[in-house]
Amino acid sequence: MGDNNEKSRILSIQNLIIKFKLRGQVLTAIRDISLDLYKGESLAIVGESGSGKSVLVKSIMGLLDKNGFIDQGKILYKDYDLSQFSTEKDWLKIRGKEIAMVTQDPMTSLNPLKTVGKQIEECVNLHQGLKGKEAYERTLKLLRDVGIHDVEKRYKQYPHEFSGGMRQRIVIAIAVACNPKILICDEPTTALDVTIQAQILQLLKNLQEMYGLTTIYITHDLGVVAKVADRIAVMYAGDIIEVGKTHEVFFDGKHPYTWALLSSLPQLGAKGEELYSIKGTPPNLFNEIKGDAFAPRNPYALNIDFVERPPFFKVTETHYAKTWLLHSDAPKVEPPQSLQAFFEEGRRYAYEQ
Amino acid sequence: MWYIGKRLLQSVFTLFIIITIVFSLLRLMPEEGYLGAAAEKMTPEQQEIILTNLGLRDPLLVQLGNFYMDLFKGDLGTSVTYRTDVPVTTIISEKIMYSLFFGLGAVALSLIIGVPLGILMAHMKGRWLDRLGTGYIVFVVAVPAAVYYIFIQMYVTDIFNLPLLFDEYNKMSWILPLTSMALAPTASYAMWMRRYMVDELNKDYIKLARAKGVKERTLMFRHVMRNAFIPMAQYLPATILFTITGSIYIESLYSIPGMGGLLVDAIQRQDNSVVQGLVLIFSSLGIIGLFLGDLAMALVDPRIKLGKGGSTR
Ligand SMILES: Nc1ncnc2c1ncn2[C@@H]1O[C@H](COP(=O)(O)OP(=O)(O)O)[C@@H](O)[C@H]1O
Ligand SMILES: [Mg+2]
């Protein structure tokens, strides 16, 4: 996994800039992002809401809202540059067939007037070329695969007859029914109960192995990530500011924003202590952002952070972070006290494995 | 089935109450309404005899009982002044055919044009067809019907050389009343259809369907259209049934001998039994229409459980 040679690269985003036109103004939602996805891996994209996670993945499927457009950059998949796609015909080559998506809210993601069986079967027809009895059998198998019992009966039921968690399983079945190479899960558990979250995560993990999927896993909850991801990309204000293997980002994070995210994990706070929260607000995307976007909220900010945008600094072969703190001329800055113990422990644990 | 049974029972009960109220109210009306044109020439004694023969001196409950007995036999009494001694049912059935023909024709026409127009408008939201359609809707809603009816009579008849007045045996003369009548409902079907379509198109399940690689056109036909039509299904039966009442305006404009003016005429001539018969029919239509609407909804929308009672929407 995470093997960095060219051959296993399945999707490559290069220097991507995405803008939206809104009431005569232009907002830059994705600010020059480059990111590779490797075959068979599970990549998590983490960041607070509004950081551009959904916009980034929507652009991969041509599902940007009408007022959004790719201003610059490439999205390479197989022999295609998806950023050049414009017609529906182009996108139909990708949607479902190559890349499928699980959306956030299972309560509204299903057509209320079609049986769940039919909604899954639609994909089976479209992308697996099966018809009639065969398609029906395959649909039943998919229902079983996502952990639904009594499938013949369930096939004929409507979405309102399922609970939230069950509906999310249906949505997942729909995505898997397309037989995609890449599965994008955009906050698949955010709308669900905590107890059900864990089950859905486990299910996604199982399906990934069963169907040999490459997954992109979006969340604003770092706590969820450790369970499912091989690699983590941290997003802030439309940029990826740190990327690395899960344990690298988790236990050796370099960007102060990553530190801040980790510090706000409830698991980290001592009992009775107030939860850590990041001060200030994210920058206004309508304005041009100078330097490091996080600088105004960053207690460790250097002068240069306000002037020049940091490039990616290499930490290891697989771990990169966009912070001037990694520059050889930068003063030595340690992560916050509360994190250091966590890092220590985590690293020890990671090496034991 | 439970749900339908319950709704049916409710409807019958409502109908019963309404008929009783209508009946009782009409008993409070001046009694000349039962005496006909000769009332002024009769002595009070003669009047009493007629009213007693009609059963109007019986206790109210007995009257009501008799009324229901006749009703079940399909007897609505006879006209007093409008067309003396002709059964009310005969009068109505002669006229109803005209109103029904034009009414149903107009509903069909406006559905055939209005619904696809609304769908196309939603599909091409913001483009020229949508603008044109919106212009049409605004025009029809904002300008009083009387004004554009008159324009039709003044200009359209000349331009297309169509007959101005209705003539049963000349099919060309059916065109103008039909189109005039369909103008307003076409606009409202188009408006609602567009609105429901746009609503549906913005829903998450459409986004998911798009993400799974469903073609935009398939999406329109298989997902959006059907879902958008459901809210309309509820009102359709009532709309269709109410065409029976005819359009006062259109019928008088084109001299169509339909139901439109009947109620007004009957009231003006104080013909109590005709008024009573009409009010009864109209209110029943309303209730049956609502019931059929709920039934239609229950049939097309799986979220309404037929098994249990409960609210419909
Ligand atoms: N259709 C749109 N028009 C204007 N701005 C948009 C649109 N969609 C998203 N944005 C903006 O892009 C930014 C990123 O949004 P999004 O990707 O949804 O964030 P998240 O990380 O929570 O998924 C936000 O600031 C949002 O306001
Ligand atoms: Mg999002």
pLDDT digits (tens, 9 = 90+) for B53-112: 777 777 778 888 888 888 888 788 888 777 878 888 888 888 888 888 888 899 899 999
Q: Give the minimum alpha-carbon distance from A81 to chain B in angstroms, rounded to a whole number.
A: 18
Residue A304 class from Cβ within 10 Å (0-12 exposed, 13-18 middle, 19+ buried)?
A: middle
Q: Is residue B45's pLDDT more than 70?
A: yes
**Do strands A239-245 and A313-314 pair parallel, antiparallel, or not at all (unpaired)?**
unpaired
pLDDT class of A117 with cuts at 50, 70, 90: very high
> How far away, in angstroms, is B226 Cα from ligand 2 center?
29
Nearest CA to ligand 1 atom 4: A20
Nearest CA in chain B to A161: B303
Give residue A56's pLDDT.
96
Q: CB B215 to CB A92 under 8 A? A: yes
What is the Cα–Cα distance from A173 to A203, expressed in whole angstroms?
11
Nearest CA to ligand 1 atom 17: A52
CA distances (Å), origin A21, targets A68, A98, A155, A233, B128: 6, 29, 42, 27, 22
Mutate to test the interface with A, among B208, B210, B299, B313 (most CBs of A within 10 A): B208
Give residue A21's pLDDT.
95
**Residue with token string 């037929």:** B306
Give residue B93's pLDDT.
86
CA distances (Å), origin A68, targets A26, A28, A185, A255: 10, 9, 21, 29
Whose CA is closest to A255, among A211, A308, A294?
Answer: A294
Higher pLDDT, B2 or A124: A124
Q: Which two tokens stand for residue A22?
A: 């809104």
* Residues of A with Cβ-Cβ distance to B209 under 8 angstroms: 111, 122
Ligand 1 atom closest to the Cα of residue A65 is 1
Q: Give the minimum alpha-carbon distance from A65 to chain B in angstroms, rounded to a whole number.
A: 10
Phi first, then psi, for residue A209 (nearest 5°) are: -70, -45
pLDDT class of A325 with cuts at 50, 70, 90: very high
Phi first, then psi, for residue B11 (nearest 5°) are: -65, -45
Amino acid in the structure at residue B33: G
Protein residues with CB under 6 Å of any ligand 1 atom: A 20, 22, 27, 29, 47, 49-55, 65, 67-68, 285
Instruction: Give percent of chain A with pLDDT exceeding 90.
Output: 69
* Residues of A with Cβ-Cβ distance to B202 under 8 angstroms: none
Q: Quick one: which H or E segment has residue A11?
A: strand A9-22
What is the Cα–Cα distance from A287 to A297, expressed in whole angstroms?
17
Q: Is residue B310's pLDDT more than 60?
A: no
Distance of alpha carbon A315 from the chain centroid? 22
Nearest CA in chain B to A176: B212
Higher pLDDT, A29 or B144: A29
* Residues of B with Cβ-Cβ distance to A114 under 8 angstroms: 223
User: Is B143 an 8 Å CB contact of chain A?
Assistant: no
> How far away, in angstroms, is A50 Cα from ligand 2 center?
7
Give residue B39's pLDDT.
67
What is the Cα–Cα distance from A96 to A91, expressed in whole angstroms?
10
Q: pLDDT digits over A210-264, tens only? A: 999 999 999 887 877 887 899 999 999 999 999 999 999 999 999 999 999 988 8
> How far away, in angstroms, is A55 Cα from ligand 1 center?
6
Name residues whose C-beta falls within 8 Å of residue A222's C-beta, 6 or more positions apart in sequence.
A46, A250, A261, A262, A265
Mean pLDDT of A97-112: 91
User: Is A178 an 8 Å CB contact of chain B?
Assistant: yes
CA distances (Å), origin B128, targets A349, B122, B125, B184, B198: 65, 12, 9, 21, 16
Helices A194-211 and A164-177 cross at an angle (nearest 10°) of: 20
pLDDT class of A3 with cuts at 50, 70, 90: very low
CA dihedral B65, B67, B68, B73 (to 10 degrees): 130
Query: Edge-to-edge strands of the sheet including A68-77?
Result: A25-38, A9-22, A68-77, A80-81
**Residue with token string 């049963």:** B168
**Do strands A231-236 and A214-219 pair parallel, antiparallel, or not at all (unpaired)?**
unpaired
Mean pLDDT of A266-271: 66
User: Is A46 an 8 Å CB contact of chain B?
Assistant: no
Give residue B32's pLDDT.
67
**Residue with token string 């409807």:** B11
Facing A108 at nearest CB: one of B203, B223, B230: B203
Q: Give the minimum alpha-carbon distance from B216 to chain A in angstroms, rounded to a whole number.
A: 8
**Residue with token string 């955010």:** A190
Question: Which of A19, A21, A25, A27 maximizes ligand 1 atoms within 8 Å of its Cβ, making it the mutation to test the pocket?
Answer: A27
User: Is B85 an 8 Å CB contact of chain A?
Assistant: no
> How far away, in angstroms, is A215 Cα from ligand 1 center?
22
Q: CB B212 to CB A100 under 8 A? A: yes
SS3 category, A117: helix
CB A71 within 8 A of CB A17: yes
**Do strands A231-236 and A42-46 pair parallel, antiparallel, or not at all (unpaired)?**
parallel
Q: Is residue A80's pLDDT more than 90?
A: yes
pLDDT mean across residues, chain A: 90
SS3 category, B307: coil
Mean pLDDT of B264-275: 83
Residues 185-214 of B with CB under 8 A from A: 203-205, 207-214
The lowest-confidence range among A269-273, A275-279, A281-285, B193-197 is A269-273
* Residues of B with Cβ-Cβ distance to A156 under 8 angstroms: none
Ligand 1 atom closest to the Cα of residue A235 is 21
Q: CB B211 to CB A108 under 8 A? A: no
